[in-house]
Homo-oligomer: A and B are copies of this chain.
Amino acid sequence: MSGTASTSYRERNSTADRALDILLMFTDTHLVVSGTAVAERLGVARSTAYRYLQSLVNSRFLEEAPGGGFRLGLRVMEIARLARRSYGLSEVALPAMTTLAEDVRETVLLTRRTGELVVCVDRAEAGTGAVRISYERGSTLPLNAGAAALVLLAWIPDEDARRLLESADLRRFTPATLTDVDTLMQRLAHIRRAGYSVTRGELDADVMGVAAPVRDEKQQVVAAVSIAALASRVFPEAEAELARKVQETAREISERLTAVGG
């Protein structure tokens, strides 16, 4: 891992970093950016920004938006498909997730953690729910709220989990959101003993979640399977049953994963 404690990070702004940073400017509310905005954000001359933009357009990571500006290009979708395949999770997990979704008639999610963020890698939905729990592939979730995030933290070394939680900005989403690191750490210990997590209204007031860990051939936790349901539809007495089912599904996926990996 790290050679010494002092990680002398190089000046974070190389040419490549800046080009990549452009891709990070896009958000749900900012689907189109202009060259001038890019120059400003990057702190470079306009001509320089356009040079980057050209590289990105040439490789189709960006395309010109109708009516001016730039938006994300189809290349992004191409490599996203490959990214999904890279993890080796989806092919194996999706059938089991679909079965679970149909069984409990709720949305089932497969998530992975990257740094301080949890990303939805796959989703299975029950046929015709009146209310939609709308997490898509690529949606990001916070570290401190949601059943899946807690599971993904529970099985890494405590010191790592603490460091992550301390460096992340723990936003409050609802009155029930946990933002205190010590409280969260206790919660993780509890989850580790139980083997699953249950949350209620910590991320979205009306939603509850139940999650369990997926392990690879080395028994490392590499993902989480979770059920996301309208909180009012699931009485506390029913939680145990859901937990059993998610754990069962997670175990099934883990087994197939080790079978493939070995």
- Decide if A81 touches B138 in the complex (CB within 8 Å): yes
A76-105 Cβ-contact flags toward B at 8 Å (1 or 0):
111111111111000000000000000000
Q: Nearest B residue to A220 by beta-carbon distance?
A: B66
Please tell me if A119 contacts chain B, counting CB pairs below 8 Å.
yes
Contact, CB under 8 Å: B72 / A14: no
Q: A46-67: which have CB < 8 Å to B?
A: 51-52, 54-56, 58-61, 63, 65-66
A77 in contact with B19 given A14-B51, A114-B60 (CB within 8 Å): no
Interface string of A124-144 (1 = CB under 8 A from B): 000000000000111110000
Instruction: Contacts A14-B51, A20-B19, A20-B55 given; indicate if A114 touches B73 (C-beta within 8 A).
Output: yes
Q: With the chains together, A137 CA to B153 CA distance in Å?
A: 30
Q: How far is the CB of A58 from chain B (nearest CB, A)?
A: 7
Of the listed stretches A27-35, A169-177, A187-195, A227-235, name the one at the interface; the rest are far from the partner chain: A27-35
Question: What number of A residues sit within 8 Å (CB to CB) of B?
Answer: 59
User: Is there a chain B Cβ closer than 8 Å to A238's Cβ?
Assistant: no
Assuming the contacts A76-B79, A78-B140, A82-B27, asked whether A55 and B115 have C-beta atoms less than 8 A apart, the reply is no
Contact A77 B28 (CB under 8 A): no
Determine if A15 is an interface residue (Cβ-Cβ < 8 Å).
Answer: yes
Set B14, B18, B51, B80: member contacting A77, Cβ < 8 A: B80
Copies in the complex: 2
A147 to chain B, nearest CB (A): 19
- Of listed A16, A60, A136, A140, residue having the most chain B CB within 10 A: A16
Contact B82 A17 (CB under 8 A): no
A76 and B72 contacting across the interface, CB-CB below 8 Å: no
Do B78 and A138 touch (CB < 8 A)?
yes
Interface pair B76/A17, CB less than 8 Å apart: no
Q: From B56, B78, B87, give the contact of A20 (CB < 8 A).
A: B56
When the two chains form their complex, are residues B82 and A137 in contact, meaning their CB atoms are under 8 A apart? no
Give which listed residue, B16, B60, B137, contacts A16 with CB less than 8 A: B16
Contacts of A56 in B (CB 8 A): 16, 20
Of the residues B17, B32, B61, B137, contact of A58 by C-beta under 8 Å: B17
Rounded to whole Å, the gap between the CB of A221 and the closest CB of chain B is 13
The CA of A24 and the CA of B138, in the complex, are separated in Å by 20
- Decide if A200 is an interface residue (CB 8 Å cutoff): no
Given A15-B15, A82-B27, A60 and B115 contact (CB-CB distance below 8 Å): yes
